[in-house]
Amino acid sequence: MTPQPPAGTITIAGKTVSRLGFGTMRLTGPGIWGDPADRDMALSLLRQAVHTHGISHIDTADAYGPHTVENLIRDALHPYPEHVLIATKVGMVRPAPGHWRPLGNPFYLRSCVEASLRRLQVERLELCYLHRIDPEVALDDQIAVMQAMQDEGKIGHIGLSKVTREDLGLVVKHRPIAAVQNVLNTNDRFDPVVELCRDMGIPYVAYRPLDAGVLTQAQGPRPALDWLLNYGPHIAPIPGTSQPRHLNEIAAAVQGGPA
């Protein structure tokens, strides 16, 4: 039996999933680099998120590791349950631990999608975000190659990450966007993209919802997650952790939905 989805449900990329997702960036080594210290624990954590806690929205990126977490997700969850959405991101290179740089060359983006398909062992990425807009490459060119791969059946739905109102407005004039992923939490509460997404009917995936753990130190995760869940029904937070105890606390904090 599938557990009750924590915090209710939301439709993202055509799939009804739990509003509480799981961000997987922390399932690597220091600096979001290389393998986790305990690979078996990371695999177990992914299985617990889905099979114990009912989380059906798993968020990752090819840059996490790089490549580490996509491989972990495959090893932990493949074949993926029908109700689970695996979302990934492309368009970021990792020169070294702790370092990130956008690279929106269309040939590179295509190669990233092809590699993610192989690592995740799927024929289509159900939701694939442009991880960052590369200011050195025309935005139209970056989105056009994503749309071309969507037309080819390699991407199901396209998302945007770390974007402004202006970025989103430019893209949606010509192409549908399935989700936007930006920072939102009680320490970073002012993102005008939230309201634009609400008006356009676009799910807003809030990353760093607990501000990298800062917001859990006094009262645990519940107040910060309640604030997000009550902000609007289009908001889907994706807290992350590498520890089973923290995952248990996060899932327990939102059982029954927002306050």
Question: What angle, 0 to 180 degrees and rounded to 10, lies between the N-to-C axes of helices 39-47 and 244-254?
Answer: 20
Burial class (CB in 10 A: 0-12, 13-18, 19+), 190: exposed
The yes-or-no answer on residue 64 being catalytic is yes
Catalytic residue among 64, 80, 129, 204: 64
Point out which residues pair with 185 in neighbouring strands.
188
What is the DSSP code string of 164-227?
Answer: -HHHHHHHHTTS---EEEEE-BTTB---THHHHHHHHT--EEEESTTTTTGGGTTT-SHHHHHH
Q: What is the Cα–Cα distance from 123 to 136, expressed in whole angstroms? A: 30
Q: Which of 91, 102, 169, 165 is nearest to 135 (CA)?
A: 102
At residue 130, the 3 state secondary structure works out as strand
Q: Are strands 204-207 and 101-102 parallel, antiparallel or unpaired?
A: unpaired
For residue 68, what are the CA distances in angstroms to 31, 63, 76, 156? 13, 8, 12, 23
Catalytic residues: 64
